[in-house]
Amino acid sequence: MRRPTIRPFAATDVEAAGRLLADRHAAHRRSESLLSARFESPPAAASEVLALLDDGATGTVAVEGDQVTGFLLGVTKPSQVWGANVWVESAGQAVAAAETARDLYAVAAQRWADRDKDVHFTLVPAHDAGLVDAWFRLGFGLQHIHAVREVPSTPARPTGRGVTVRPARRDDSPVLAELDLELPRHQALAPVFSSGGVSTLEEAAADWTESFDDEGYAYFVAEHNGEVVGASVGCPLEESSSHTALTRPDRAGFLGFAAVFPHARGLGAGRALGEAVTDWCRDAGFTSVATDWRATNLLSSRTWPRLGFRPTFVRLHRRLGY
């Protein structure tokens, strides 16, 4: 089978890329209707491609005859955590055939590697098994999940063993600071092994004290036998820097944080805290709730799907040289 011609992405390719991206998103919405219909419009999709170019993205296009049949764009993010990176964001790829993604990456990745960018990420529509498989066959592994669900039609019924959830108060700040450190501590352990930094207790306490003045946020704590054992945070999805462009449903709330102390796990506190946020999202007028989690975080990857969250995008990761 003859493969497409691969060449560098040029500004003149934006319109064709927008059409491909709009088609990809329309197919995605047939699987997950909560995603925004806005990006089924080729001009709206093309504006997201153009935004990537404005951010310095580089990449490739696939051409067959006089037709562009695929594109791939990656952008570098300044970050000490992610290393010398390139990210293919949610608007950074679309192909007429999944196998073309492998050809596009083969050429683009060499240019990125020549610039010493050896840590690569890609956001792929979760419903597209063929495209996910193409990236797996490029040496990428599953790292992170983006997910969404409808807001609940009725309030959740208590299911935890002796667990109650209430709005957090300012005088909860000391224990909230402890819980703020619990999530990165947990994710530093097996099997996640996250390299993210951990704040000091003093820094976390100061952040929580200031956070109670933030409008649009909802803070909850879970109690068991009179002790605060967990916390969760809800807010508009626009507050999340990781849910942008095609990953962001319209009128969506965000389950942005949840943590439970180790000694209280297994009581149903995590689920109850998640339900408190989804109930708040309904009452706040949102039509859906989004969240995300590390695929290797065993607690999150089991709790949030049971709460009705469905994957929308998967973040895949590869470090060159291994």
Sign of CA dihedral 173, 176, 177, 180: negative
> What pLDDT is attached to residue 160?
66
In the chain, pLDDT over 70 holds for what percent of residues?
Answer: 99
Q: Is the pLDDT of residue 68 over 90?
A: yes
> What pLDDT is attached to residue 2?
82
CATH 3.40.630.30 domain extents, the chain: 5-139, 150-310
| Average predicted confidence (pLDDT) for the chain | 95
Is residue 250 left, alpha or beta, with left meaning phi > 0 and alpha meaning psi from -120 to 50? beta
Q: Is the pLDDT of residue 198 over 80?
A: no
> What pLDDT is attached to residue 214?
85
d(CA 184, CA 275): 22
Cβ partners under 8 Å of residue 82, min gap 6: 119, 121
End-to-end CA distance of the chain: 30
d(CA 173, CA 163): 20
Amino acid at residue number 95 = V
Least confident residue range of 139-143, 156-160, 188-192, 314-318? 156-160
Give the confidence band of 196 by pLDDT, cuts at 50, 70, 90: confident
Q: Is the pLDDT of residue 159 over 80?
A: no
Q: Is the pLDDT of residue 306 over 70?
A: yes
d(CA 126, CA 114): 30
The superfamily (CATH) of domain 150-310 is Gcn5-related N-acetyltransferase (GNAT) (3.40.630.30)
The architecture that CATH gives domain 5-139 is 3-Layer(aba) Sandwich (3.40)
> What pLDDT is attached to residue 144?
98
pLDDT digits (tens, 9 = 90+) for 214-252: 889 999 999 999 999 999 999 999 999 999 999 999 999
In the chain, pLDDT over 90 holds for what percent of residues?
Answer: 89
Please name which of 236, 239, 274 lies closest in space to residue 253, comparing C-alpha atoms. 236
Give the mean pLDDT of 25-46. 98
> What pLDDT is attached to residue 219?
97
- Supply 183's token pair: 């999530």
Strand partners, 293: 145
d(CA 93, CA 102): 11
pLDDT digits (tens, 9 = 90+) for 87-104: 999 999 999 999 999 999
> What pLDDT is attached to residue 212?
83
pLDDT digits (tens, 9 = 90+) for 108-122: 999 999 999 999 999
Give the mean pLDDT of 273-280. 97
Global pTM? 0.95
Q: Is the pLDDT of residue 79 over 80?
A: no
Quick check: 14 and 53 in contact, CB under 8 A? yes
Give the mean pLDDT of 277-304. 97
